[in-house]
């Protein structure tokens, strides 16, 4: 963790099959790599690329979706505000991920906000483009269903975790997930991850930053991790897994 990463110098989009992400050096498949022929051409001409600064809002909870977003370069988090000021990070997205697709399909306002965690390139597909892609290939439906269904299953896991797991167990799960990122479709995942502040971890787990700090300190005392600043190394993976399985 704690990488220095270059700011993207040009707007690019991983739409080819077996797209090789130069930035994180992982070979991944873009959600839209099934496109070819006319739909691909239309996709290329009508999508709108946009560069976002760090901590910039792509859309806000409550907005009405006007189309779909595809994250091309960067990191984005989905956050949900509580009525009392606190906010919870729902998920982290990396390049190749769709952003905010489920409210689009549901036909409801966004139930989360999307915020860049660093400079990011996002490509916007307006409603007309999405609808034409739908018609061109049922693979679009299939992938969307698979993706969102997997997210739903993950969300259920999280509900159970919040209900029954202690702060330390949840923290352990979080640390383990950093290596195998908790993105909807693992085959689309990116292995590099941004460095998380204590507060960001706390916002993800629904804990106070102090509790996160104490948990990390306890793990370090037990030799499970090695902490220095924002860099957290997992030393004893199976030990952490045991901690994550505890109540």
Using CB under 8 A, list all residues that contact a second copy: 80, 82-84, 86, 88, 90, 101-108, 111-112, 134, 138, 141-142, 144-146, 148-153, 155-160, 162-164, 205-206, 245, 247
Q: Is 199 in the site for DNA (CB under 7 A)?
A: yes
Q: How far is the CB of 47 from a second copy (least distance, A)?
A: 21
Q: How far is the CB of 147 from DNA (least distance, A)?
A: 30
- In the list a second copy, DNA, none, the entry touching 211 (Cβ below 5 to 8 angstroms by class) is DNA
Long-range CB pairs of 214-220, under 8 A, 24+ apart, other chains included: 215/167, 215/168, 215/171, 216/171, 218/168, 219/168, 219/171, 219/172, 219/175, 219/243
Site for DNA in 62-81 (CB under 7 A): none
Q: Is 231 in the site for DNA (CB under 7 A)?
A: no
- In the list a second copy, DNA, none, the entry touching 28 (Cβ below 5 to 8 angstroms by class) is none
Among 198, 234, 239, 241, binds DNA (CB under 7 A): 198
Among 36, 108, 197, 231, binds DNA (CB under 7 A): 197
Q: Is 162 in the site for DNA (CB under 7 A)?
A: no
Residues found near DNA in the complex (CB under 7 A): 166-168, 197-199, 206-211, 213-214, 216-217, 227, 229-230
């Amino acid at each position: 963790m704690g990488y220095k990463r270059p700011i993207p110098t040009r707007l690019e989009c991983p739409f080819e099959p077996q797209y090789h992400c130069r930035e994180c050096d992982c070979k991944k498949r873009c959600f839209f790599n099934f496109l070819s022929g006319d739909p691909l051409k239309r996709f290329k001409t009508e999508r709108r690329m946009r560069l976002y600064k760090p901590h910039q809002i792509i859309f806000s909870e409550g907005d009405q979706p006007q189309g779909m977003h595809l994250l091309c370069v960067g990191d984005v988090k989905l956050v949900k505000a509580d009525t009392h000021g606190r906010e919870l990070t729902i998920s982290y997205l990396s390049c190749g991920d769709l952003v905010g697709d489920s409210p689009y399909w549901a036909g409801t306002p966004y139930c989360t906000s999307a915020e860049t965690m660093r400079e990011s390139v996002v490509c916007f597909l307006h409603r007309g483009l999405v609808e034409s892609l739908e018609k061109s290939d049922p693979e679009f439906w299939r992938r969307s269903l698979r993706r969102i269904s997997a997210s739903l299953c993950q969300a259920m896991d999280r509900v159970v975790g919040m209900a029954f797991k202690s702060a330390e167990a949840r923290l352990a799960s979080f640390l383990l997930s950093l290596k195998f990122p908790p993105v909807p479709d693992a085959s689309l995942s990116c292995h590099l991850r941004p460095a998380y502040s204590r507060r960001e971890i706390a916002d993800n787990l629904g804990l106070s930053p102090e509790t996160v700090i104490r948990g990390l300190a306890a793990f370090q005392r037990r030799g499970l991790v090695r902490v220095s600043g924002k860099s957290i190394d997992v030393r004893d993976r199976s030990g952490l897994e045991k901690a994550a399985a505890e109540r």
